[in-house]
Amino acid sequence: MNRYSVIVRPIVTEKGVEKKESERTLCFEVHPDANKTEIKQAVEGLFKVKVEDVRTLTFEGKLRRRGRYSAYKSDWKKAFVKLKPGQKAPEYAEL
């Protein structure tokens, strides 16, 4: 798995932006099979920063209905990546 397939997208929410500003922590949706080492290497390679810690959460897909049809959303994984002190967070959340 290469670094572009490990990180699916950044998650830009109020909580994620607040954690980025106050705790130097970035939030990403990552590939469900990626481990913490792969996530760390992908973030360091893509954004040219040093990573201190990686925490991951796995979410089960929810049942979604549309009229008489129902289906499950796919499972997904979220990663919180904490940067080392002195590292500047990339500005992917600015409009």
Give the number of domains in the chain.
Answer: 1
Task: Report, as an integer, the average pLDDT of 4-31.
Answer: 93
Confidence band for 95, pLDDT divided at 50, 70 and 90: very low
Contacts of 9 (CB under 8 A, 6+ apart): 28, 29
Structural domain contains residue 66: yes
- Residue-number span of the structural domain to which 19 is assigned: 3-83
Tokens (6 digits) for 62? 């929810």
Structural domain contains residue 94: no
- CA distances 95 to 3, 12, 28, 87, Å, are 25, 11, 18, 22
pTM of the model as a whole:
0.87
Structural domain contains residue 93: no
| CATH number of 9's domain | 3.30.70.330
pLDDT for 26-82, tens place per residue? 999 999 999 999 999 999 999 999 999 999 999 999 999 999 999 999 999 999 999
